[in-house]
């Protein structure tokens, strides 16, 4: 009896000591181990950077990453930080990947980063770079800024890789042969989403459009996709409320969404001004898709297939944050250049351009299939990830959609539909 009593007391003391103390000690230990591991990785990266070339350097390619500072609009939520370094770490990782092969071939890559401030003029700053003889540009710019670059003297003699602007006009009436679009267009994103909604038999939509120009363009693409895939838009409204939704959403959203029977609420709110406040507040219980809810993306933090986990981990170790779409686009652009120069053994701009637009180009980009450029408008054809905020849902093109050249060409405007004329 006394032995049992002492065993119980001993067990109680052991448990009372171990749980809080060991948990705390373990967490501290883990932090120390992580700090040590980070230091080791940093040293390893520096060591890799100092590796000598196996061959004498025969080709050196200069790449310039250009971004423009923007005024930050008032946000309805402070949960997501405003990033000022999008694209930067994507370029850094791609540079490291390019040099992995380049050191054996005698190919070197150098990158300059130019962030143009609010008070600086984009055109004049870009002209300075052109006068320095720079040939390869990865740019984080919007549509109007890209259009202003197209008017510059000497712009036809360089290659521009677009990592942000989704406007379909840049791939159609305003296209240029030396402008390559890594970012998917609005029509690609809308087709990718629509294919999945068709698969789910959610064919009756309630479309809500925001007040901004990009909202209108996205909505236009969604309506084109609806017509293409035989979707019925039961009702369409424009969101034009100016009140603070954090206080009024519970009253305004149910009244706004009261409508005839529909399957899914489709939202075009690029700036994220109201879309997040629609969920769980609609008059009828309906799923939400578009720019909020189930969203089509070129990249997403929940993506883990086809080696993507490795990329996610590399990026987080380097940057301390999740990889965004612009980061992924910047990585893809620099890797596309590296792959082309490796294959052609040349960084001559005409040869690079020709190869990128040709049938032989293909790049593994953690999407399950090799991505490539459409020869008629410079758009990167790629699978589109359909994801909720914390869950990967599907990947488009959906099963059953076929095409004589590539299933990826079932997304967006195909060559017969394109108005791009090089």
Query: What CATH number is given to the structural domain containing 102?
Result: 3.40.50.2300
Q: Are 417 and 328 in contact (CB under 8 A)?
A: no
Q: What is the largest CA-CA distance in the chain?
A: 96
pLDDT of 24 reads 37
Residues 95 and 168 in one domain: yes
Tell me how many domains the chain contains. Answer: 2
pLDDT at 20: 39
Helix, strand, coil percentages for the chain (3-state, nearest 5): 45, 20, 40
**pTM beyond cutoff 0.95:** no
Structure tokens at 55: 């061959």
Token duo for residue 380? 């990167």
Do 138 and 231 share a domain, yes or no?
Answer: no
- Whether 267 maps to a domain, the answer reads yes
**Cβ within 8 Å of residue 4, ≥6 positions away:** none
Q: pLDDT tens digits, residue range 280-333?
A: 999 999 999 999 999 999 999 999 999 999 999 999 999 999 999 999 999 999
Residue 94 lies in a domain: yes
- In this model, does residue 45 exceed pLDDT 80? no
Element (H, E) at 37: helix 2-49
pLDDT value at position 32?
67
252 and 320 housed in the same domain: no
pLDDT given at position 315:
96
Q: Tell which of 238, 268, 297 closes a domain.
A: 297
Task: Write b or e for each residue in 366-402: b if 16 or more Cβ atoms lie within 10 A of its Cβ, otherwise e.
Answer: bbeeebbbbbbbbbbbbbbbbbbeeebebbbbbeebe
Average pLDDT, integer, range 17-24 = 37
Least confident of 120-129, 206-215, 236-245: 236-245
Rounded to the nearest 10°, the torsion over CA 14, 17, 23, 27 is: -120
Both 114 and 237 in one domain: the answer is no
Q: Is residue 33 part of a domain?
A: no
Is the confidence at residue 15, as pLDDT, over 60? no
- Contact in structure between 193 and 221 (CB atoms under 8 Å): no
Residue predicted with more confidence, 18 or 265: 265
Is residue 334 within 8 Å of 98, Cβ to Cβ? Answer: yes
Confidence of residue 198 (pLDDT cuts 50, 70, 90): very high
Domain end point (choices 245, 278, 297): 297
Whether 21 is covered by a domain: the verdict is no
**In the sheet that 380-381 helps form, which strands lie side by side, from edge to edge?**
363-364, 370-373, 380-381
Note whether 288 and 336 are same-domain residues: no
Please list, in sequence order, all residues whose beta carbon lies within 8 angstroms of the beta carbon of residue 306, skipping any fewer than 6 positions away: 366, 367, 368
Please give the sequence-ordered ranges of beta strands (E in DSSP) within 188-290, or none if there are none.
Answer: 204-209, 232-238, 264-268, 288-290
Q: 69 falls in which pLDDT band (50, 70, 90)?
A: very high
Quote the pLDDT of residue 173. 96
| 135 shares a domain with 262 | no
Query: Could you list the residue range(s) of the whole structural domain that residue 195 is in?
Result: 188-297
244 in the same domain as 153: no
Question: pLDDT tens across 235-271, in order?
Answer: 999 998 776 666 677 778 888 899 879 999 999 999 8
Is the CB of residue 386 less than 8 Å from the CB of residue 193? yes
In this prediction, residue 25 carries a pLDDT of 42
C-alpha of 25 from chain center: 39
Mean pLDDT of 387-406: 96
Q: What's the average model confidence in pLDDT over 211-239?
A: 96
Average pLDDT of the chain is: 89
> Is 152 found in the same domain as 65?
yes
Q: Answer yes or no: do 304 and 177 share one domain.
A: yes
Banded pLDDT at 18 (limits 50, 70, 90):
very low
Are 143 and 288 contained in the same domain?
Answer: no
* Domain end among 297, 315, 331: 297
Residue 298 to residue 306: CA distance in whole angstroms: 14
Dig out the tokens for 250 from the structure: 């519970």
Query: Once rounded to an integer, what is the mean pLDDT over residues 373-390?
Result: 97
Residue 23, in any domain of the structure: no
Q: Cite the beta strand spans of 5-133 per DSSP E.
A: 59-68, 107-116
Higher pLDDT, 158 or 422: 158
What is the pLDDT, as a whole number, of residue 341?
Answer: 98
Strands (DSSP E) along 124-200, which ranges? 136-140, 159-162, 179-181
Structural domain contains residue 421: no
The predicted pLDDT at position 16 comes to 42
H or E, element range at 355: helix 349-356
- Binning pLDDT at 50, 70 and 90, where does residue 53 land? confident
Domain shared by 204 and 150, yes or no? no
> In this structure, are 316 and 180 located in the same domain?
yes
* Cβ proximity of 141 and 66 under 8 Å: yes
Q: How far apart are CA 48 and CA 299, in angstroms?
A: 27
* Residue 251, helix vs strand vs coil: helix
Residues 135/153, Cβ–Cβ less than 8 Å: no
Place of tokens 């939509």: 205
Q: Is residue 78 part of a domain?
A: yes
Q: Is residue 72 part of a domain?
A: yes
């Amino acid at each position: 009896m006394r032995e049992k009593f002492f065993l119980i007391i001993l067990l109680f003391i052991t448990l009372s000591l171990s749980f809080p103390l060991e948990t705390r000690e373990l967490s501290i230990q883990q932090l120390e181990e992580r700090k040590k591991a980070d230091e080791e990785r940093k040293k390893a990266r520096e060591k890799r950077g100092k590796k000598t070339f196996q061959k004498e350097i025969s080709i050196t390619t200069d790449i310039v990453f250009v971004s423009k500072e923007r005024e930050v609009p008032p946000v309805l939520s402070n949960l997501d930080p405003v990033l000022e370094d999008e694209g930067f770490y994507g370029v850094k990782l791609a540079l490291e990947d390019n040099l992995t092969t380049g050191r054996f071939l005698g190919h070197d890559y150098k990158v300059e980063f130019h962030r143009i401030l609010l008070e600086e003029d984009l055109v004049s700053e870009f002209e300075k770079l052109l006068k320095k003889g720079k040939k390869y540009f990865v740019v984080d710019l919007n549509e109007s800024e890209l259009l202003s670059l197209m008017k510059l003297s000497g712009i036809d003699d360089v290659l521009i890789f677009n990592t942000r602007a989704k406007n379909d006009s840049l791939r159609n009436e305003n296209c240029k042969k030396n402008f390559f679009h890594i970012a998917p267009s609005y029509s690609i994103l809308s087709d990718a989403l629509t294919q999945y909604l068709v698969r789910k038999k959610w064919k009756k939509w309630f479309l809500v459009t925001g007040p901004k120009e990009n909202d209108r363009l996205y909505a236009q693409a969604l309506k084109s996709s609806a017509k293409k895939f035989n979707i019925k838009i039961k009702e369409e409204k424009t969101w034009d409320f100016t009140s603070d939704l954090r206080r009024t959403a519970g009253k305004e959203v149910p009244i706004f969404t009261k409508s005839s029977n529909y399957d899914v609420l489709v939202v075009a709110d690029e700036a994220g001004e109201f879309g997040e406040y629609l969920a769980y507040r609609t008059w009828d219980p309906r799923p939400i898709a578009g720019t909020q809810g189930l969203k089509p993306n070129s990249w997403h933090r929940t993506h883990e297939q086809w080696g993507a986990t490795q990329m996610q981990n590399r990026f987080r170790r380097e940057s301390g944050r999740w990889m965004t779409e612009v980061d992924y686009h910047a990585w893809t652009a620099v890797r596309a250049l590296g792959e082309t120069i490796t294959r052609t053994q040349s960084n001559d701009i005409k040869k690079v351009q020709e190869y990128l637009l040709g049938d032989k180009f293909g790049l593994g980009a953690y999407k399950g299939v090799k991505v490539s450029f459409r020869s008629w408008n410079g758009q990167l054809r790629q699978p589109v990830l359909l994801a909720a905020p914390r869950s990967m849902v599907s990947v488009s093109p959906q099963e059953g959609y076929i095409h004589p050249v590539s299933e990826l060409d079932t997304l967006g405007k195909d060559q017969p539909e394109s108005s791009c004329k090089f």
